Chains A and B, each alone.
Chain A
Amino acid sequence: MNYRDLLLEIGTEEIPSRFISPALSAVSEAAAEEFKAERLTFEKIQVLGTPRRIAIIVRSLALKQEDKTEEFRGPAWGSAFDASGNPAKAAKGFARSKGVEVEALEKRVVGEQEFAVAVVRQEGKDTREILPGLLGKVARSITFPKSMYWDSTFNRFARPVRWLLSIYGEEYVSVEFGTVRSDRFTRGHRFMGQKKIEIASVGEYLEKLHDNFVIADPGKRREKMLSGVSAIEKEIGGKAVLDRDLVEENLFLVEYPVPFYGSFDQSFLEIPEEVLITSMKNHQRYFPVRDGAGALKPFFIGVSNNRATNMSVVREGNERVLKARLSDAAFFWAEDQKVPLSAKVDSLKKVIHHEKLGTVFEKVAHVRELCGLLCGKLHLSKADTRLVDRAVYLSRADNVTDMVYEFPELRGVMGREYALRNGEDPRVALALYEQYLPAFSGDKTPSDVIGAVLGICERIDTITGGFKAGLQPSGSQDPYGIRRASRTVNEIIWGVGMDVNVAEMLELSSENRGLSQEDRDAVLEFTHQRLHNQLREREFSHEMTTLAISVTGSRPMQTLRFLEAFREIQGADWFRGLIISAVRVRNILQKSETSDHVLDVGLFREDAERELFEAVDSLSIQVADAVNSCDWDRLTKILAKLEPFITVFFDKVLVMDKDELIRNNRIALLERCNRLFETSGDLGLLKT
């Protein structure tokens, strides 16, 4: 056997759960890279991790490096050896520097010349010689979002490294990290396992850990955790809400998952479920439980890291903690409703939104003005316009409620809930929640136009306000969330299907915020660039996106529809043909010295000329019409009609006729074509 398995375990104090997964990928990538650089082959790397250990098992790692042959070019052959083949000083020196005999130098022709070449064969070293340095390097290469030092060597890791274990087959590998040196031991579960466990071979590592209540393989641990959760689901007749991030977090908070459940008083269910869920998830990492109809049940499922002597002690302790948290929430819920939301608006005058941009109240006033303008542009009904205005007025009132002070992530939700109980219009209440959508990439967009208008205007104001305050993004910095705001405006427009002219709204908002001309230009340039990027992410080509924006201007909904219409015809032969013709038109016109030639129908000599002229003449109006009415499907159909005429023209007609009059007349015809392309978008920009 020419290979063995390798184990490296880095034993630590409890690493933050969110760091572990990324660290596992990093360590496996770093190891693979190091092995490759050292010419060590292996079958695969298995990653293992719990809060107290980051480990890899490398399967079938070669016993020895692969041999290596390298060739080095030395002096010219003529100066290395004399005519009778005796080596000169240059040859001897070169051979010595490469560690080969001078007789072993070979003659090679490179280009026109002959050179002396040293062929150096390096035999692969024993893997065991390489591992100590290599593994130390791998361990030190792991970086974390936040790291610390703890001893006099100032080495950094997420939390202190306390032990190291490395075995290659059945031999220990000596590895160091700071003051820690590898030994023969691992450690079991903090409370259920042995403190010191001797591991004699890679093969017994996982098994011995398992005997000591550590499931090091995250996949197996997840399985065990989830099967425990489903057993509980059956027992209590409900369905756990298994939020992906929360599952992941719980997984990396334990070495040995012991799911358990507890209950809380039915009366707490009168509080909005988002509040209960936030209390359970964010503070306690519990999974909430729903019944068959989707309603919350008065249960929670937690994941203990210990199979306690008596799990009911763990359950009762957790129930007491949750009860205290929910009692707090119930108190805020009651307290907040003593005054209606509308009565809280005034106190926003005392809340600073941003030191350079004044109070929240002022911010809302800016957004309110924009909302009024946008309602007009969108021709919303009077009734809808009134609802938008009410929603924007109340939009930040929940920021000063006790509940949102306690749980900032519940803003919007609390606005909706309190508004409903205050007897506000349900669409206003919904808008208070939907103004924050989409909350993350891929999230849903508002379902109603009221929240959509509010959401768009709030972000437009954020963009211009940010530029006004000098908070524009640079590099990876975006202190005021302007990139996000810009992106979200487009997401809402596309999600809801609203034909908003963003540039126009930005101009109005810039006016409102008193931006300099320079800043206004920067705002437009910035948002234009964002739109371009977002469309590129949707897999539209750079050229197509540029073309679409040039035709539709700053109306993201039209830009997207234009691109979708053109995506349909992208593969068609006629479209490729049309692009080729457009490129030719472009090239010819660029070369012709003069422009504004007068077209004279009388100078046509060929049918193809006359027919192209007639086609362009009648289709130009149709193209303009389709563009004005944003009917992009129709535009593609018109272009399809044009294509045969222009293709035949280039087939049959030589533009550069010897007769200057005829030549200029043909150029004039192409100028007509070009004008049509200017309306429909310069197809000559596209690559075929």
Chain B
Amino acid sequence: MNLQEIVMRLERFWAEQGCIIQQPYDIEVGAGTMNPATTLRVLGPEPWRVAYVEPSRRPTDGRYGENPNRLQHYYQFQVIIQPAPEEIQEMYLESLKTLGIEPGDHDIRFVEDDWESPTIGAWGLGWEVWLDGMEITQFTYFQQVGGVDMDPVAAEITYGIERIAMFVQKVDSVYDLEWVGKVRYGDVHHRGEVEHSTYNFEVSDTDMLFRLFSMYEAEARRTIAEGLVLPAYDYVLKCSHTFNLLDARNAISVTERTGFISRVRAIASACCEAYVKQRKDMGFPLMNKFEPRAGR
């Protein structure tokens, strides 16, 4: 099964479970969780069911395209269902079947792995899912986002698309994955890994990044004061990515690190709080709009 087929099948599957299929956000994020379709939408009492692919950037994980398993840019397939249904684990296992992964043929395990994102003040408990020893999915029950307690609790399922594809296609290097036909993953992304690794580790302008961080932070604060939650949150994401770029240059010492993280958390929390209030003022318009297994 090629890479795009895997994505399309997951989309089809989750659409059938009543998820809306969104597209990636248009600002760099470290993970699908940072997309406002997760971070903001899980806040407050409104139900929410969504699935989307998220290209995720982790500058420090770059390996110049030399390591067969590590990338500074990779794809996540993100699913959020709120409130978390009782049979969420079974739903997930069903989704694997659509990829040709029959649980009876393998050893699938839910192994303790808790999740925490200090930059957005969020945490949850859950598992990493093992498929014959390989971690293919992160499964989390959110407990808190932006410092706000979850009510109701959302379940988050994050598939590592490359990992699953490598398993399905039985290849040892991510670059050998079949995207479709003769086109390999390497054809699409190898050059990007080389260039971005070089940029992130060697070329980026540290002084500019520090300036940008402060400018983005200030703009987030100014915008939130104007009551514009969504644009403000965009600047939170820009801050977070800028921080990651600085981190890749080792420009932030251990001492300063905590300070930078708490600066991002402060504006993220402010956005989350404002979002909850905004939805309340709007009368929680998504109430009763999701029906399980609507889809098609």
Instruction: State how many angstroms separate the Cβ of A20 from the closest Cβ of chain B.
Output: 11
Separation in Å of the A242 CB from the closest CB of chain B?
Answer: 19
Per-residue 0/1 for B185-228: is the Cβ within 8 Å of any A Cβ (1 yes, 0 no)? 00000000000000000000000000000000000000000000
Closest Cβ of chain A: how far from B292's Cβ, in Å? 16
Q: Is residue B61 contacting chain A, with contact meaning CB distance below 8 A?
A: no
| B102-120 interface code vs A (CB 8 A; 1 in, 0 out) | 1111111111101000000
Docked pose: A253 CA to B170 CA in angstroms = 26
**B124: A residues at CB distance < 8 A:** 148
Q: Report chain A residues within 8 Å CB of B86.
A: 160, 162
B58 CB to closest chain A CB, in angstroms? 16
Most chain A Cβ neighbours within 10 Å, of B110, B111, B153: B110
Interface membership of B134, Cβ < 8 A? yes
Closest A-chain residue to B152, C-beta based?
A152
- Chain B proximity of A216: nearest CB distance (Å): 18
- Complex: how many Å from CA A159 to CA B105? 26
A386 to B26 CA separation, bound complex (whole angstroms): 60
Let me know if B25 is at the binding interface, CB within 8 A: no
A16 in the interface (beta carbon within 8 A): yes
A150 adjacent to B172 (CB under 8 Å): no
- Whether the pair A314, B132 counts as a contact (CB closer than 8 A) is yes
Give the size category of B's interface with A: 35 or more
Contacts of B110 in A (CB 8 A): 13-14, 51
Residues of chain A from 332 to 356 with CB closer than 8 A to chain B in the complex: 350-352, 355
Inter-subunit contact B125/A308 (CB<8 Å) = no
Contact of A352 among B84, B111, B172, B253 (CB under 8 A): B253
Q: A474 at the A/B interface (Cβ < 8 Å)?
A: no
Asked if B69 is at the interface (CB within 8 A of a chain A CB), the reply is yes
Contact A146 B153 (CB under 8 A): no
Chain B contacts for A308, CB-based, 8 A: 104-107
Which residue of the partner chain A has the closest CB to B171?
A320
Bound: A669/B56 CA distance, A = 88
Q: Which residue of A lies closest to B155 (CB)?
A: A150
Interface size, chain A (Cβ < 8 Å):
45
A191 touching B143 in the complex, CB below 8 Å, given contacts A18-B112, A317-B131, A317-B133 = no
Known: A150-B141, A159-B125, A160-B141. A323 touches B109 (CB 8 A): no
Q: State whether B134 touches A317 (Cβ < 8 A).
A: yes
CB distance from A245 to the nearest CB of B (A): 14
Contact assessment for A352 and B254 in the assembled complex, using a CB-CB cutoff below 8 Å:
yes
Q: How far is the CB of B150 from chain A (nearest CB, A)?
A: 8
Q: Is the CB of A306 within 8 A of B104?
A: yes
A-facing residues in B155-186 (Cβ within 8 Å): 167, 170, 172
Contacts known (A14-B110, A321-B134); A328 close to B105, Cβ less than 8 A: no
Contact A318 B105 (CB under 8 A): no
Question: Are A16 and B112 in touch, CB under 8 angstroms?
Answer: yes
Task: Quote the shortest CB–CB distance from B139 to chain A (angstroms).
Answer: 9
* B107→A304 contact, CB < 8 A: yes
Which residue of chain A is the closest to B63 with respect to CB atoms?
A331
- Which residues of A are at the interface with B, using a C-beta cutoff of 8 A? 13-14, 16-18, 51, 146, 148-152, 159-160, 162, 190-192, 253, 258, 284, 302, 304-306, 308-310, 313-314, 316-318, 320-324, 327-328, 331, 350-352, 355
Report chain A residues within 8 Å CB of B170. 320
Contact of B108 among A17, A150, A191 (CB under 8 A): A191
Contacting residues, chain A, for B103 (C-beta < 8 A): 190-191, 306
What separation, in Å, do the CA atoms of A160 and B172 have in the docked complex? 36
Contact yes or no, A314 B107, CB < 8 A: yes
Q: Give Cα A253 to B132, complex, Å.
A: 14
Chain B nearest CB, measured from A647 CB (Å): 67
Contact of B153 among A14, A151, A253, A322 (CB under 8 A): A151
Q: How far is the CB of A505 from chain B (nearest CB, A)?
A: 29
B254 pairs with A148, CB closer than 8 A: no
A149 touches B143 (CB 8 A): yes
User: Is B75 positioned at the interface, with any CB of A under 8 Å from its CB?
Assistant: no
Cβ-defined contact, A317 with B141, below 8 A:
no
User: Given A160-B141, A191-B104, A150 and B69 touching (CB < 8 A)?
Assistant: no
7 more CB-based (< 8 A) A-B contacts, given A306-B107, A351-B254: A149-B143, A151-B83, A152-B152, A159-B125, A253-B111, A313-B132, A317-B107
Cβ–Cβ contact B104 & A355, under 8 A:
no
B132 touches A355 (CB 8 A): no
Q: Which 8 A-B pairs have the closest CB atoms?
A: A317-B132, A16-B112, A14-B110, A318-B133, A352-B254, A304-B107, A355-B255, A321-B133
Residues of B in contact with A (beta carbons under 8 Å apart): 67-69, 83-84, 86, 89, 93, 102-112, 114, 124-125, 127, 131-134, 141, 143, 151-153, 167, 170, 172, 250, 253-255
Rounded to whole Å, the gap between the CB of A254 and the closest CB of chain B is 8
The CA of A95 and the CA of B254, in the complex, are separated in Å by: 74
Residues of A within 8 A of B152 (CB): 151-152
A162 vs B88: C-alpha distance in the bound complex, in angstroms?
11
Bound Cα distance from A314 to B131, whole angstroms: 9
Q: Beyond A152-B152, A313-B132, is A352–B107 a contact (Cβ under 8 Å)?
A: no
Q: Is the CB of A149 within 8 A of B112?
A: no
In the assembled complex, 22 residue pairs joining A and B whose CB atoms fall closer than 8 Å, in A order, are A13-B89, A14-B109, A16-B112, A148-B125, A149-B153, A151-B153, A162-B86, A190-B93, A191-B108, A253-B111, A258-B107, A305-B109, A306-B104, A306-B106, A306-B107, A308-B106, A309-B104, A317-B132, A318-B133, A324-B172, A327-B68, A328-B69
**What residues of chain B lie closer than 8 Å to A350, measured between beta carbons?**
250
* Nearest CB in chain B to that of A311: its residue: B107
Contacts of B93 on A, CB cut-off 8 Å? 190
A150: chain B residues within 8 A (beta carbon): 84, 141, 153
In contact, A306 and B108 (Cβ under 8 angstroms) = yes
Residue from the list B83, B127, B131, B167 in contact with A14, Cβ < 8 A = B127
With both chains docked as a complex, state the minimum distance between the C-beta of A479 and any C-beta of chain B, in angstroms: 14
User: In the bound complex, how far is the Cα of B254 from the Cα of A485, in angstroms?
Assistant: 23
Closest to B173 in A: A324
A13→B129 CA distance, assembly (Å):
13
Query: With A14-B110, A313-B105, A324-B68 in contact, do A302 and B133 touch (Cβ < 8 Å)?
Result: yes
Q: Do A310 and B132 touch across chains, with their CB atoms under 8 A apart?
A: no
Max chain A Cβ within 10 angstroms of own Cβ: one of B83, B111, B133, B170: B133
| CB of B144 to closest CB in A, whole Å | 11
Report B60 CB to chain A, min CB distance, Å.
11
Measured CA separation A148–B102 after assembly (Å): 30
A310 and B105: CB pair below 8 A? yes
A308 to B114 Cα, complex, angstroms: 28
Contacts of B153 in A (CB 8 A): 149-151
Could you tell me if B69 and A324 are in contact, using CB atoms closer than 8 angstroms? Answer: yes
Supposing A152-B152, A159-B125, A160-B141 touch, asked if A321 and B109 sit within 8 A by C-beta, the answer is no
Taking a contact as CB atoms under 8 Å apart, the answer to whether A313 and B112 are in contact is: no
In the complex, chain B residues whose CB is within 8 Å of the CB of A159: 125
Whether A148 contacts B143 in the complex (CB less than 8 A), given A13-B89, A308-B104, A320-B172, comes out as: yes
